[in-house]
Structure 1
Amino acid sequence: MMWQSASAKISALETLYLFPITSIIRLINHMTSENQTGAAEFFLLGLSEDSELQPFLFGLFLTMYLVTVLGNLFIILAISSDSHLHTPMYFFFSNLSFTDICFSTTTVPKMLMNIQTQSKSITYTGCLTQVFFVMIFAGLENFLLAAMAYDRYVAICQPLRYTVIMNSHLCGLLILLSLFISLVDALLHSLMILQLSFCTDLEIPHFFCELVQVFKLACSNTLSNNILIYLLTSILGGVPLLGIIFSYIKIVSSIPRIPSAGGMYKVFSTCGSHLSVVFLFYGTGLGVYISSAVTHSSKKTAVASVMYTVVSPMMNPFIYSLRNRAMKGALRKLLWRTSFS
């Protein structure tokens, strides 16, 4: 009974996320208009400057973006329309799907527009807004993966208390807390960028305004900015990752106590899907920062960034739907109703 209202909650995700975000965006626009640093616009160099390669890149990223949006949208609709999936696990998964749509929408459409118009420019306000959104949705994905790991830990290690612990109030609180922390983190970095002065060479060797790349263009001292980003990334990225590791250590230690083969299959199917998404997100994210530290090639770092900003959100729906029997059943029902409606 507690999760019968899950459909209404899922349909209200846009309001939950976008109301505080749009309010802060208005604040950023107001502050940028009052605090211009001489930077009228930046230039996104993209993944390649080869003109013959641009049509291929446009078609590739347009296809990936459409697959991401449609795939995650089908997941949200399937969960909201199937009462059997109105549980905490799928509630978090629907939030993850919505976050993936927003994450890709933050970066890919601007890249496609620049390729189509043969323009590389992005306004100062637009660049700052893009940084803000990327930080929010990357942080949300990070916290949601940790919340999903905790949900699996409670379901497997404390099954008799699962409905008591993972109640609707706790799940809603975890979503709100994740959103609040991500908003504060993104706003703090955005306000720090407002204090910087920028040089005349404003070319970003990337396909979106990535925070570290923006710092490299500043004429003023960025020591405090760099300390802040590495400190917050270590805390806000490390703590959820440690929570995921701790949850799975407990899950693995409890596997021998599962009596039936059906119970073992359910554990491996749900945990396997989640672990695949975790490895994809954290592996590609860490790979980008390790490659940026090892190599001085900004182009290689930009290509690596495609993995966690574009590929990961596109692959998540397939990972969950292909490895989850309940999810496949809900998607079949949704496609059947859609085809004959």
Structure 2
Amino acid sequence: MANLLIIMAVSFNYHLHTPMYFFLMNLAVLDIGSISVLVPKAMSNSLMESRTISYAGCVAQVFLLFYFVGTDFALLTVMAHDRYVAICNPLQYETIMHKGACIQMVASAWLCGVLHACLNTGSTFVIPFCSNEVNQFFCEIPQLLKLSCSDLYLVEIGVIVFTCCIVLGCFTFIIITYVKIFATVLKIPSVQGQKKAISTCIPHLTVVFLLVFSGIFSYGSSSNETSSDVDIVFAFFYAIFPPLFNPFIYTMRNKEIKMALLKLFPMVHFKRNMSC
């Protein structure tokens, strides 16, 4: 619901038709997608007291999860560039981050997500499996690799290593970008100007760290020595937490989003004024 509210606020408020909020709206769409891949099936299995998923459903879960998460991280990298241009090169911001450029950046992020999902899904399901019991509440690659009957699982290990290298490269780019941003912010003469610039960066940086470190925490801790209950907790942490908290991180101190939401729901605003 929180992600849907962000999409509605940005879509129906002309003042929010800027690159930053355009990227934020796409991020909200991705969060809805990633949460929808896992939660409805897990809930239906729980309500129906079932633990089954079809082979096609398992393939779809792996593909869509990697698609949304990969696109999510690519978009966060693009958003770092947007903040860099806005703060370090403000006079040319509208020239560089024009509508066409923003659409191309978002389209590139979604395309990267497709390639990322195809690579991981294809290399995982080419493997023959000895069992059909996955110790997880969804089809997760580390758990699927444990069911391998051959050395072909090394192919997916190689793909995961390659993916980690790309993620590390993007993360390094984001960190270097923010080092330059904060160096520029420190040169701003007014304290108010510094606070305003930092306030637009902190939510994005928080979301990046939440996504990266929750993924590292989960995949780095997934091994044969850990129990299935611990694996489920780790998976819940990286699959559910980022899309759950992202909208609150972005809107908690964002006055423009709050005002846009009040305009969407004027009765709430009216009752609030009456109560005051």
Distance in 2 (CA, whole Å) between partners of 1:211 and 1:108 is: 17
Q: 1:141 aligns with which of 72, 76, 94?
A: 72
1:238 aligned residue (168, 172, 186): 168
The aligned runs of 1:10-159 (5 Å cut-off) are 70-159=1-90
Structure 1 residue 189, shift from structure 2 partner: 2.2
Residue of 186, 190, 196 corresponding to 2:121: 190
Contact 1:71 1:317 in 2 (8 A): yes
Superposition deviation, residue 193 in structure 1: 3.0
In the alignment, structure 1 residue 208 sits paired with structure 2 residue 135: no
Please give the TM-score of this superposition, normalised by the length of structure 2. 0.92
In the alignment of these two chains, the number of paired residues is: 269
Letter of the 2:123 partner, please give it. Answer: M
- For 1:174-323, list aligned pairs within 5 A: 174-199=105-130, 201-221=131-151, 222-235=153-166, 237-292=167-222, 296-323=226-253
1:62: which partner in 2?
Answer: none
Aligned partners of 1:120 and 1:159: how far apart in 2?
Answer: 54
**Contact residue 88 and residue 168 of structure 1 kept, 8 A:** yes
8 Å Cα contact 2:142-2:222 kept in structure 1: no
Tell me which residue corresponds to 1:3: none
1:287-329 CA-partner distances (Å, limit 9, x unpaired): 1122225952232122122122112111111111112121121
SS for the counterpart of 1:323 is coil
Is the CA contact (8 Å cut-off) linking 1:273 and 1:324 kept in structure 2?
A: no
Greater alpha carbon shift after TM alignment, 78-87 vs 96-105: 78-87
Relative to 1, partners in 2 of residues 1:84 and 1:261: Cα closer, same or farther, differing over 3 Å?
Answer: farther
* Structure-2 change in CA distance of 1:337 and 1:78 (3 Å): farther
Distance 1:215 1:184 in 2: 20
Aligned to 2:274: none
1:116 & 1:295 partners in 2: Cα distance?
A: 30
**Structure 1 CA distance for aligned equivalents of residues 214 and 160 of structure 2:** 18
1:9-47: CA deviation from partner (whole Å, max 9, x where unpaired)? xxxxxxxxxxxxxxxxxxxxxxxxxxxxxxxxxxxxxxx
Q: Which runs of 5+ in 2 are unaligned?
A: 271-276
CA distance in 2, matches of 1:99, 1:188: 19
8 Å contact kept, 2:186–2:194: no
Counterparts in 2 of 1:151 and 1:258: CA distance versus 1, 3 Å = same
TM-score by length of 1: 0.75
The higher relative CO (CA closer than 8 Å, separation ≥ 6) is in 1
Alpha-carbon distance between aligned partners in 2 of 1:130 and 1:189, rounded to the nearest angstrom:
12
Report the 3-state secondary structure (helix = DSSP H, G, I; strand = E; otherwise coil) of the residue aligned with 1:122.
coil
Partner residue of 1:333 out of 263, 266, 272? 263
| Residues 270 and 323 in structure 1, CA contact (< 8 A), matched pair in contact too | no
Distance 1:291 1:187, change over 3 A: same
Tell me if the contact between 1:128 and 1:190 (Cα under 8 Å) persists in the aligned partners.
yes
Q: State the distance in 2 between where 1:230 and 1:162 align.
A: 36
Cα offset, 1:127, TM superposition: 0.3
> What is the match of residue 96 of structure 2?
165
Provide the aligned C-alpha RMSD in A. 1.8
Per-residue deviation, 1:202: 1.8
Q: Does the 8 Å contact 2:84/2:177 carry over to 1?
A: yes
Check the 8 A contact 1:292/1:298 in 2, yes or no.
no
Q: Spell out, residue by residue over 1:46-101, the C-alpha distance to the aligned partner (whole angstroms, 9 max, x if none).
A: xxxxxxxxxxxxxxxxxxxxxxxx10000010011111111100000000000000
Tell me how far 1:258 sits from its aligned partner.
1.4
Give the secondary structure class of the aligned counterpart of 1:304: helix
- What is the alpha-carbon distance in structure 1 between the residues aligned to residue 73 and residue 40 of structure 2? 23
Find the aligned partners of 1:189 and 1:256 in 2 and give their Cα distance: 42
Q: Given that residues 262 and 269 in structure 2 are in contact (C-alpha distance below 8 angstroms), is that contact kept between their aligned partners in structure 1?
A: no
User: Which amino acid in 1 is paired with 2:241?
Assistant: V
